[in-house]
Each structure stands twice: as C-alpha cells, then as structure tokens.
Homo-oligomer: A and B are copies of this chain.
Amino acid sequence: MTDWGVYLVTQESLSGDRTTRAVVEAAVAGGVDVVQLREKDRSARERYHLGRKLRTLTREAGVAFVVNDRVDLADAVDADGVHLGDDDLPVPVARDQLGPDALIGRSVSFVEDARRAERAGADYLGVGAVYATGSKDDIDDDEYEIGPERVGEIAAAVDIPVVGIGGVTADNAAPIVEAGADGVAVITAVTGADDPEAATRDLAGTVADARGD
C-alpha cells in the first residue's frame, strides 16, 4: 500500500543550483513517500534519462514513483504510474496502456470532477491549488485557491486517497490533512528549501501529527 503523506513533484528549474537527482536523494533521506517526475521544461528524451535514474533511486528506497502527463514515459522508465490533468490522455486510456496495477492519479479542483475521476478509475487525486502560490510555475493548472475546506469536501466524496497541492509548506499542511486529505504534494517547499532533507522530514512530521499517527 502506498502511503501518500509527502508527495514530491520535481522541477529542477525551481531547485536552485541543485539537480533534481540531489533533491530526490535528500527527500528520500527525509522520508518522502511518493516522487513525481515533472520537469515541464525538459524534453521527453531528457526526462526519460532522468526518470530511469530516479526509478532506480526510488525503487531502492521503497518510494513510489510516478511520471507527470505522459503514459509512454511512465511505461518507458518502469514507473509505478502516471499523473494526469485535464489536458492529458483520459484515465481509461492510461489504464489500458499501463495495466491494472499502475497508480493513476488525476488533478481535480471540484467535487464533481473528483467523483468522475474516481469512476474513470483513478487511484488517487491531486487536489488544488489549496493555497495560492503566486508562482505560475509552481502549479500550472488551477491557479486559484480552493482552501483546505474544499479538499475535505473532495476527500469525503471519494474513496480513493487525496493529496492537497499548491502553496503547501510545513506551516500550512496540517489543516489540509485535518480536513481529510491523506497527504500533501509539494514542489518548492522541498526543492527550494535550504535543506530539502530537513524540509521533507518537517512535512512528514506535520502530516503524521495531523493524521494522529
């Protein structure tokens, strides 16, 4: 069973002078549960090579690994699954290509879309933007703030795991989990932290406390 507590979305362009590989190594050391290869500004070929490295690294650590947007890339690097948005291939197409055991995630902002994604076969939902980030590079889909309350409404409406995303930090993660989310997804809270390992550990602790683990 995948734990959805802390879900890191990679973006080297938001990682200061660190490589994504170094950020992921730090996050793994800090207790990250899921890593998503994003890197929107890299070619498929570059993501393929990076993804193979991250797959090895996450597999050795027992961390789930998913790829953003592209089903072919997810399959090519033997990821555990793929994360899809409104502009991507439909969930049933990804299921058909990746098989019954793949983790297929879907970005949603509304209760009705969450129910639809669950019916379509999604295994988990990325729900946001929970908090406005002020950075269109951080969350590029729904850049308006839905707040922890909407995350809670969505978590209550579906039976699949829900992670809150968008402007999440160790300081504001607790209300998201208290509202009913299984965890939080972050980019810059880890990639842009002075110490990504400590930042991941902080987030993991906050999520565990909020869950009452």
Contact = CB atoms under 8 A, between A and B. Distances in A.
Interface of A: 43-46, 48, 69-73, 75-76, 86-90, 93-94, 96-97
Task: Please give the count of copies of this chain that the complex contains.
Answer: 2
Nearest to A86: B45
A75 to B, nearest CB: 6
A43 B90 contact: no
A71 B96 CA distance: 14
A69 to B, nearest CB: 7
A156 B76 CA distance: 32
A89 to B, nearest CB: 6
A88 B46 CA distance: 8
Contacts of A90: 45, 48
A45 B87 contact: yes
Contacts of A46: 87
Nearest to A92: B76
Contacts of A69: 44
Contact of A89 (B48, B86, B97): B48
A70 B48 CA distance: 13
Contacts of A93: 48, 72, 76
A97 B71 CA distance: 11
Nearest to A70: B72
16 contacts: A43-B87, A43-B88, A44-B89, A45-B87, A45-B88, A45-B89, A48-B89, A48-B90, A48-B93, A70-B70, A70-B72, A72-B89, A72-B93, A72-B94, A75-B97, A97-B97
Nearest to A73: B89
Nearest to A94: B72
Contacts of A48: 89-90, 93
Nearest to A46: B87
Contacts of A75: 72, 97
Contacts of A43: 87-88
A164 B204 CA distance: 55
A45 to B, nearest CB: 5
